[in-house]
């Protein structure tokens, strides 16, 4: 149960936590034609699309139940950018179609005719995010069950990017921000050990230092937020595909690391950080 003031939690609402991790992820918002980019964090259209696929919602179906859901994203492991260069052609020697479709849903021919496309795709590799979806408890319970036994294969922004398990971490009776602040760090064991080793080196120690909490960046959907993202889906129908904007705020959250025997309860919060010296690494 939540320890927050009840006034901060909307009646009948809860939060569903999703761990978004996999070898590759790609969350594009402006990707068209032969260059497909990725954002540094999962988009709302990508997460809503994943939930819709889990429930068996087709592209032409209404998203009215899913659109009001609010989204928060915590970056547990940012990953690195991967550029995939390749060429595409029809093995039968036929001209290639373009991305656009006609009134019958068939891809239009390229004009002028092209036989080879040079395409570039961007991915995030080895990234881990924690997504918090806030909304009515009954709806989130249904989504939780759907994610655990999806109707369609799930993907992390693109069909070629399957997620690893477990994806659903269950529901929480907390606010969007509090659920992201209290959930333990979801980074891989290797990345967590590397962080502890680096932290020990920075403190002049000859062994890893295991903090109890660390700071991670997060993006929270907030009507009073000072930034705008154009990634909220209105329809996934290929003929009427459209998006709208939403307000968000960017912040840092001090989260538990989950290390079984932390060395320093104050790291990440703290008196130790107050003495930060940017020249210390140079030996001054």
17-49 pLDDT per residue, tens: 999 999 999 998 776 667 888 999 999 999 999
Fold of the domain spanning 13-256 = Alpha-Beta Plaits (3.30.70)
Q: What is the spatial distance between Cα 109 and Cα 98, in angstroms, rounded to a whole number? A: 6
Chain mean pLDDT for the chain: 87
Taking 60 as the threshold, does the pLDDT of residue 63 lie above it?
yes
From the list 70, 66, 71, the residue with the least C-alpha distance to 53 is: 66
This prediction has a pTM of 0.82
pLDDT tier at 12, thresholds 50, 70, 90? confident
Q: Domain limits of the chain?
A: 13-256
Q: What is the spatial distance between Cα 281 and Cα 204, in angstroms, rounded to a whole number? A: 9
**pLDDT tens column, 243-282:** 999 999 999 999 999 998 888 644 544 444 444 556 555 5
**pLDDT tens column, 163-175:** 999 999 999 999 9
pLDDT of residue 263: 83
For the residues 181-207, what does the mean pLDDT come to?
Answer: 92
Q: What is the spatial distance between Cα 72 and Cα 42, in angstroms, rounded to a whole number? A: 10
**pLDDT tens column, 134-161:** 999 999 999 999 999 999 999 999 999 9
Q: What is the spatial distance between Cα 167 and Cα 270, in angstroms, rounded to a whole number? A: 33
Taking 50 as the threshold, does the pLDDT of residue 10 lie above it?
yes
Specify the higher pLDDT residue, 262 or 125.
125
Widest distance between CA atoms in the chain? 70
**What does the buried/exposed string (b/e) look like for 34-70 if buried means 16 or more CB atoms within 10 Å of the residue's CB?**
eebbbbebbbbbbbbbbbbbbbebeeeeebebbeebb
List Cβ neighbours of 140 (8 Å cut-off, separation of 6 or more): 14, 15, 16, 133, 171
List the Cα angle 63/65/67 in 5-degree steps: 65
From the list 118, 119, 117, 114, the residue with the least C-alpha distance to 95 is: 114
pLDDT of residue 20: 98
């Amino acid at each position: 149960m939540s320890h927050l003031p009840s006034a901060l939690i909307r009646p009948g609402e809860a939060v569903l936590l999703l761990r978004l991790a996999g070898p590759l992820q790609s969350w594009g918002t402006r990707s068209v034609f032969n260059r497909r980019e990725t954002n540094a964090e999962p988009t709302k259209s990508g997460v809503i699309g994943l939930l819709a696929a889990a429930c068996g919602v087709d592209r032409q179906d209404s998203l009215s139940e899913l659109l009001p859901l609010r989204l928060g994203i915590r970056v547990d492991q940012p990953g690195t950018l991967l550029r995939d260069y390749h060429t595409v052609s029809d093995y039968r020697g036929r001209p290639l179609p373009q991305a656009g479709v006609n009134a019958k849903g068939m891809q239009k021919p390229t004009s002028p005719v092209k036989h080879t496309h040079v395409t570039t795709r961007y991915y995030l590799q080895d990234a881990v995010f924690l997504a918090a979806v806030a909304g009515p408890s009954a709806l989130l319970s249904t989504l939780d069950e759907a994610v655990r036994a999806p109707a369609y294969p799930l993907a992390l922004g693109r069909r070629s990017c399957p997620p690893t398990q477990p994806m659903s971490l269950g529901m929480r009776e907390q606010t969007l921000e509090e659920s992201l602040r209290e959930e333990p760090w979801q980074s891989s064991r290797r990345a967590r050990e590397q962080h502890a080793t680096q932290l020990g080196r920075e403190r002049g120690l000859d062994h890893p230092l295991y903090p109890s909490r660390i700071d991670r960046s997060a993006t929270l959907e907030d009507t009073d937020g000072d930034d705008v993202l154009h990634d909220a889906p209105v329809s996934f129908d290929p003929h009427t595909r459209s998006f709208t904007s939403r307000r968000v705020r960017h912040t840092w959250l001090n989260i538990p690391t989950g290390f079984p025997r932390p060395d320093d309860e104050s790291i990440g919060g703290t008196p130790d950080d107050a003495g930060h010296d940017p020249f210390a690494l140079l030996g001054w």
